[in-house]
Amino acid sequence: MFGKKVYIVGEISANHGHDIQIAKDTIKAIKEAGADAVKIQTYTADTITMNCDNEYFQIKQGTLWDGTTLYKLYQEAYTPWEWHKELFDYAKEIGITIFSSPFDKSAVDLLEELNTPAYKVASFEITDVPLIKYIASKEKPVIISTGIATIGEIKEAVDACREEGNESITLLKCTSSYPAPYEEMNLLTIPNMRETFGVEVGLSDHSMGCTVALGAVALGAKFIEKHVILDRSIGGPDAEFSMEIDEFKSMVEEIRKLERALGNISYDITEKTKKNRIFSRSLFFTQDIKEGDVITYKNMRSIRPGYGMHPRHYSEILGRKVIKDIERGTPVDWSHIE
């Protein structure tokens, strides 16, 4: 599913205002912005939680959603299941990959019917090992966000996939704050995560702007996921930390430029650089001197441009005599020296 380039995904999540046309328009805009894929979420309030308003189900952890219950939040945020086929068909029609995050086995079954090319495990589901094993058993790439997990829980999730014979695993560095503060991103974990678990690594980014995504790519992330909204005025649970389309498009463009700049490990000099070497330093006679005169630091210097001898010969040449008259501004050459 993923090639050599960074795989960029626009996450719609709840950013459709319960209007399927807005969902379709967002898919189209994400494609036009240059992304590789669009992602949705597959759950209902009843498949992800239960309709209960006792203290356990109240949201009061200092989040954007404090003051409501889990059930009410997910009623507002979910993507209707009856939309799924239409959205998958539309994405295929316009030529962009679409996949989803399932939150229970029935969601996996629905996505299998739609021939999803991959599965995303959300951060808060990383501890649901039976669900992960069921997802991994479908033999599709599994992308796992690690936002709330300990290193031990990440290992459990990776092991669960491998126990099902699924080695197509991508872990996403993620900070489960909305929006996520820069000082909590800890992007240096990305190369360590790859080394520790022997899998591809990316970023699920809830921070504002594209700074964190670019930093992740520079550190080797091969997958970038950002929440996208057509216009924040649409509102909804995720609007505040989602990128508008022009911001998302700019991020995609910057990532593609950064990829070109990262290139490969190379000490080669490009053809253009070779031409510009003429402006490097070399040895020149800086005074008129006569045949038999001694070369000194006053009449020979290392200066630009690069037509003379290499500066490494400076000490070797000092104190020697010239064998002919030389004009000021002449590049030093062995043929001038006794």
> Do 197 and 158 touch, CB atoms closer than 8 A?
yes
Per-residue pLDDT of 83-121, as tens digits, reads 999 999 999 999 999 999 999 999 999 999 999 999 999
Six-digit token pair at 103? 């939150």
Q: Could you report the per-residue pLDDT of 21-55, keeping only the tens digit for each?
A: 999 999 999 999 999 999 999 999 999 999 998 98
All domains in the chain, ordered by first residue: 7-43+78-262 (3.20.20.70), 271-336 (3.90.1210.10)
The upper half-sphere exposure of residue 269, i.e. CA atoms within 13 Å in the direction of its Cβ, equals 6
Report d(CA 196, CA 232) in Å as an integer: 38
Q: What's the rounded Cα separation, in Å, for the pair 73 and 54?
A: 15
* 266 vs 160: CA distance, rounded Å: 39
Q: For the residues 273-298, what does the mean pLDDT come to?
A: 94
pTM of the model: 0.86
Query: Residue 273 has what pLDDT?
Result: 85
Query: Would you list the DSSP string of 181-250?
Result: PGGG--TTHHHHHHHHH-SEEEEEE-SSSSHHHHHHHHTT--EEEEEEES-GGG--TTGGGPEEHHHHHH
